[in-house]
Structure 1
Amino acid sequence: MFTTLTVLSDLAAADAMQPLAAPKTIPQVIDGITGWIMGIIALVATLFLVIAGLRYMAAGGDPAQVEQAKGNFKSALIGYALAVLAPVILQVLQKIVGG
């Protein structure tokens, strides 16, 4: 018990001694956001792709269901295109903001 308290107090003291992180610049913030945006968009596009595949398999020849599946495929392709273009869009935004 004594060693656990000693270790915890040492960790708390070491954590208190660390300096605060310096504020990030606009380009650093935009670079950090780029990865998140690409990941989220790719995740949603993959979800649409899976839904489209399931709808197409379950359509059973029903033209309305096949058209819904095709719409989901188109949405997935648009999502993947946005995920690929996200860095370009954010770079343009960075130039506009002036970072």
Structure 2
Amino acid sequence: MKVIQLRDYGRRVRAGVHGQQVHDQIAKALKASSRVRLDFADVESVGATFLDTSLGALVARHGATVLRSIVFTHCSTRIEASIVKALSQAAPLRGLLNFSGRRDAS
């Protein structure tokens, strides 16, 4: 499983350019293996532009079932809510999102 550390993009991940970089990493990893882990350890917040560019674009291109191959780890409840909000606008999500290792918001 490919692990992408979101903290590499800062504590507040918002920029579309970073979203494109993460999108490209996810797409490349999914071609090489079946699963990707997005690790949000040490990340305080994620912006809608980042989420639209990274995950929203994947859903638009590959369909919502691509989310079954992505595991979201170390998400605060705030980050989890941001992800759900951004992706629910793109597609129905029932049973497609996998959050593990939740951490409390600090």
Range into which the TM-score falls when normalised by the shorter chain: under 0.3
Q: Answer 1 or 2: higher relative contact order, Cα 8 Å, separation at least 6.
A: 1
Which is helix-richer, 1 or 2? 1
Structure whose CA Rg is larger:
1
Q: How high is the TM-score relative to the length of structure 1?
A: 0.26
Which is strand-richer, 1 or 2? 2
